[in-house]
């Protein structure tokens, strides 16, 4: 287990007091943050063996790696609580469609055309983008088949993830390549949970992932509820994203979507719902009273013309909200900086400029995500004893200047971009340093993803995007 010292950075702790330390040293010991040592008032730093100022009492010869973070911003890694790694391969293949057409005409046939290899490279492509953009943890929803290979990519890459195979045993226009029996869906989910939940010291976890009420039988959803309760794993699903979806649930089940989840026993602190755009007041109260978690995906909601979720109102009444990019074909990026910026901006025309301040948004993208994952004791802030999921930003650039007399949180949310992330560390392992990936060959990932897409397009019968 190696020791890493991050020296002299400006540290956005995201701790209880929201402290920002002007200059501090962070010592990582193995997977964990061992200490956070602020530079004392007026200290110029004593000379150490490396000839640079040393603000820490850490004995430098005990350390395996020293990262000089002077004039850089050090903060907890971002957490995106709704992505689909299996869809990264289909970036740009389903533009300008609304949700149900997007699913039925493009995404379902394409997901159904995946093979084991294409799932692996799709996941790797997504993870590469995420790590380069400072996202250290995700809640991921895979497709019906080959989810084991997505877990292999998560395992190989070093990212922290809670993931699960999507479950689809019901619904119109589901291609035969994705339709599964209730029994197969449950059995495969359970086998994947047994294999991957709490893998690598808890870095990798399982979540049951019914796609949405529209594509699941009551029998499946009730069994998911019971299995999740027995095993303590999360349930992650989409809910109330699109008006058409609500109408289908109403016609089929005779009630609104969130009410239906409530009747099935599928609301609660261990349930993470993506979107939640079309809710009535009663449904908002059901989410609050049950402690159900909501994920805001502003880019996806705009691009699919789904609508704008009432996030400020949800926060006001005490609903827990975190952030996610959703899948690459409905975004088309997995860039947390774009999601933060949009989350801060899209509510302002309706509610005024003070709706969704930068601090609220940054919290959603760090601690909020940790809470959605149920691991807020382990990640989401820089504090001794927490897992070392840390990123370093270089904001000494024209687009983020001037640097004086400007609120740092505002700079991160409104000015910074994913290209400003210099270093990404997950579980004490450096996955990118000085913009160089350490565990992944980006060239290989892009090459293999291109090859895999060609195969999937051929199998799916979908014309390439440009030929539609
Ligand atoms: Zn989604």
How many whole angstroms from 373 Cα to the centroid of ligand 1?
Answer: 16
What is the pLDDT averaged over residues 446-459? Answer: 96
CA 411: distance to chain centroid? 21
Distance 459 CA to ligand 1 centre (A): 23
Q: Which two tokens stand for residue 294?
A: 């909501």
- Residue 251: exposed, middle, or buried by beta-carbon count in 10 A (0-12, 13-18, 19+)? exposed
Give the rounded percent of residues in the chain with a pLDDT score beyond 90.
Answer: 92
Judge whether 162 and 138 are in contact, CB under 8 Å: yes
* Structural domain includes residue 119: yes
Dist. CA 127 → ligand 1 center (Å): 16
Asked whether residue 347 is domain-assigned, the answer is yes
What is the enclosing helix (H) or strand (E) of 425? strand 421-426
Domain membership flag for residue 211: yes
**How many angstroms separate the CA atoms of 318 and 362, rounded?**
17
pLDDT at 219 (0 to 100): 98
Same domain, yes or no: 136 and 234:
yes
How far, in Å, CA of 16 to CA of 465, rounded? 47
- pLDDT mean over 219-230: 98
**351 pLDDT above the threshold of 70:** yes
* Cα of 143 from ligand 1 centre, angstroms: 11
| CA 278 / ligand 1 centre spacing (Å) | 15
Question: Cβ(406)–Cβ(46) under 8 Å?
Answer: no
Same domain, 206 and 354: yes
pLDDT class of 462 with cuts at 50, 70, 90: confident
In this prediction the pTM is: 0.95
Q: Measured in angstroms, how far is the CA atom of residue 234 from the centroid of ligand 1?
A: 16
Q: What is the pLDDT of residues 352-388, one digit of tens each?
A: 999 999 999 999 999 999 999 999 999 999 999 999 9
DSSP alpha helix (H) spans, 142-268 = 147-157, 182-196, 199-202, 218-231, 243-253, 257-263
CATH of residue 363's domain is 3.20.20.140
Q: Indicate whether 190 and 243 sit together in one domain.
A: yes
The answer to whether residue 463 is domain-embedded is: no
Regarding whether 157 and 99 lie in a shared domain, the answer is yes
pLDDT at residue 285 is higher than 50: yes
Together in a domain, 122 and 267: yes
Q: Which pLDDT belongs to residue 333?
A: 97
Higher pLDDT, 467 or 450: 450
- Strands 436-437 and 429-433, by their bridges, are antiparallel
Task: For residue 279, name the pLDDT band (cuts at 50, 70, 90).
Answer: very high
Task: Say if residue 144 is in the same domain as residue 229.
Answer: yes
- For residue 98, report the distance from its CA to the centre of ligand 1, in Å: 13
3-state secondary structure of 94: coil
Whether residues 338 and 266 fall in one domain: yes
Q: What share of the chain is helix, strand, coil (3-state, %, to 5)?
A: 40, 25, 35
Q: How far is the CA of 325 from the centre of ligand 1 (A)?
A: 8
Residue 269 has pLDDT above 80, yes or no: yes
Distance 307 CA to ligand 1 centre (A): 14
Q: Domain for residue 465, yes or no? A: no
CA of 1 to the centre of ligand 1 (A): 36
Q: Are strands 78-84 and 32-38 parallel, antiparallel or unpaired?
A: unpaired
In the reported structure, the alpha carbon of residue 228 is separated from the centroid of ligand 1 by a whole-number distance in angstroms of 20
Determine the distance separating the centroid of ligand 1 and the alpha carbon of 24, expressed in angstroms.
38
- 115 alpha carbon – ligand 1 mean position (Å): 20
Distance 87 CA to ligand 1 centre (A): 10
In the reported structure, the alpha carbon of residue 238 is separated from the centroid of ligand 1 by a whole-number distance in angstroms of 6
Decide: 413 and 361 in contact? Cβ < 8 Å. yes
> In this structure, is residue 461 part of a structural domain?
no
Specify the pLDDT at position 46.
36
Whether 168 and 195 share a structural domain: yes
CA distances from 264 to 220, 230, 259, 268, 347 (A): 10, 16, 9, 11, 32
Q: How far is the CA of 83 from the centre of ligand 1 (A)?
A: 6
The C-alpha atoms of residue 181 and residue 179 are separated, in whole angstroms, by: 7
Backbone angles phi, psi at 464, to 5 degrees: -55, 150
Q: What is the pLDDT of residue 186?
A: 98
Q: Which of 337, 264, 319, 339 is nearest to 82 (CA)?
A: 339
Check whether residue 320 and residue 346 sit in a common domain.
Answer: yes
> How much is the average pLDDT of 220-235?
98
Q: How many domains does the chain have?
A: 2
The band of 155, judged by pLDDT with boundaries at 50, 70 and 90, is very high
268 Cα to the center of ligand 1, angstroms: 19
CA–centroid distance, 326 to ligand 1, in Å, is: 5
Give 132-177 as a DSSP string: HTTEEEEEEE--SS-HHHHHHHHHHH--EEEEE-EE----TT--TT
Question: Within a domain: residue 241?
Answer: yes
pLDDT tier for residue 176 given thresholds of 50, 70 and 90: very high
Residue 24 shares a structural domain with residue 167: no
> Is residue 457 included in any domain, yes or no?
no
Domain harbouring 421, CATH code: 2.30.40.10
CA of 142 to the centre of ligand 1 (A): 10
Please tell me the number of Cα atoms within 13 Å of 391 on its side-chain side.
28
Average pLDDT, whole number, for the chain?
94
Residue 395 alpha carbon to ligand 1 centre in Å:
31
Residue 431 main-chain phi, psi, to 5 deg: -95, -25
Q: Are residues 198 and 253 in the same domain?
A: yes
- Is 399 found in the same domain as 270? no
Q: How far is the CA of 84 from the centre of ligand 1 (A)?
A: 6
Nearest to 391 by CA among 85, 77, 127, 150: 77
Expressed in angstroms and rounded, the spacing between residue 4 Cα and the centre of ligand 1 is 36
Looking at residue 40, its pLDDT comes to 64
Specify the pLDDT at position 466: 57
H or E stretch covering 450 = helix 442-460
Quick one: what percent of the chain has pLDDT higher than 70? Answer: 95
The Å distance, Cα 30 to ligand 1 centre, comes to 34
Q: What CA–CA distance (Å, rounded) separates 338 from 349?
A: 18
What's the 331 CA to ligand 1 centre distance in angstroms? 10
- Tens digit of each residue's pLDDT (9 = 90 or more) over 35-72: 999 986 545 443 333 334 444 455 677 899 999 999 99
Asked if the model's pLDDT at residue 296 lies above 90, the reply is yes
Q: Are 370 and 379 in contact (CB under 8 A)?
A: yes
Question: Can you give the residue range of the structural domain that contains 70?
Answer: 3-76+386-436
Distance from the alpha carbon of residue 322 to the mean position of ligand 1, in angstroms = 14
Distance 215 CA to ligand 1 centre (A): 14
Categorize the per-residue pLDDT at 442 as very low, low, confident or very high, splitting at 50, 70 and 90.
Answer: very high
- CA of 295 relative to ligand 1 center, distance in Å: 10
């Amino acid at each position: 287990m190696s020791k890493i010292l991050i020296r002299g950075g400006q540290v956005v702790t995201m701790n209880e007091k929201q402290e920002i330390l002007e200059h501090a040293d962070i010592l990582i010991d193995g997977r964990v943050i061992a200490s956070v040592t602020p530079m004392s008032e007026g200290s110029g730093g004593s000379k150490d063996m490396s000839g640079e100022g040393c603000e820490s009492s850490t004995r430098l010869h005990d350390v395996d790696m020293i990262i000089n973070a002077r004039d850089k911003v050090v903060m907890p890694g971002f957490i995106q609580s709704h992505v689909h790694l299996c869809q990264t391969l289909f970036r740009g293949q389903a533009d300008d469609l609304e949700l149900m057409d997007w699913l039925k005409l493009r995404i379902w046939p394409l997901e159904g055309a995946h093979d084991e290899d294409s799932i692996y490279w799709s996941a790797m492509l997504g993870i590469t983008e995420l790590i380069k953009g400072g996202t250290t943890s995700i809640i991921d929803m895979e497709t019906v088949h080959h989810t084991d290979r997505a877990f292999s990519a998560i395992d190989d890459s070093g990212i922290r993830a809670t993931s699960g195979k999507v479950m689809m045993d019901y619904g119109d226009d589901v291609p035969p390549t994705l339709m599964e029996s209730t029994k197969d869906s449950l059995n495969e989910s359970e086998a994947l949970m047994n294999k991957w939940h709490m893998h690598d010291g808890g870095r990798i976890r399982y979540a049951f992932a019914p796609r949405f009420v529209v594509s699941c039988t009551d029998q499946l959803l009730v069994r998911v509820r019971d299995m999740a309760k027995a095993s303590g794993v999360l349930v992650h699903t989409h809910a109330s994203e699109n008006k058409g979806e609500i109408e289908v649930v109403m016609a089929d089940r005779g009630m609104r979507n969130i009410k239906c989840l409530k009747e099935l026993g599928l609301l609660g602190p261990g349930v993470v719902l993506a979107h939640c755009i079309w809710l009535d007041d009663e449904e908002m109260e059901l989410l609050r009273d049950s402690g159900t978690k909501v994920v805001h995906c502003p880019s996806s909601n705009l691009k699919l013309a789904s609508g704008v979720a009432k996030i400020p109102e949800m926060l006001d009444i005490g609903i827990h909200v975190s952030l996610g990019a959703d899948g690459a074909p409905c975004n088309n990026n997995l860039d947390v900086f774009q999601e933060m910026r949009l989350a801060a901006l899209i509510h302002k025309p309706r509610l005024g400029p003070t709706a969704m301040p930068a601090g609220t948004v940054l919290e959603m993208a760090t601690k909020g995500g940790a809470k959605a994952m149920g691991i807020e004791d382990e990640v989401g802030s820089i504090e001794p004893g927490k897992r070392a999921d840390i990123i370093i930003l270089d904001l000494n650039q024209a687009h983020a200047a001037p640097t004086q007399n400007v609120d740092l949180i505002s700079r991160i949310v409104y000015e910074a971009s994913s290209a400003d992330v210099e270093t990404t560390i997950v579980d004490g392992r450096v996955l990118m340093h000085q913009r160089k990936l350490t565990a992944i060959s980006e060239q290989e990932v892009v090459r293999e993803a291109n090859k895999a897409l060609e195969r999937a397009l051929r199998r799916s019968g979908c014309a390439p995007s440009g030929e539609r």
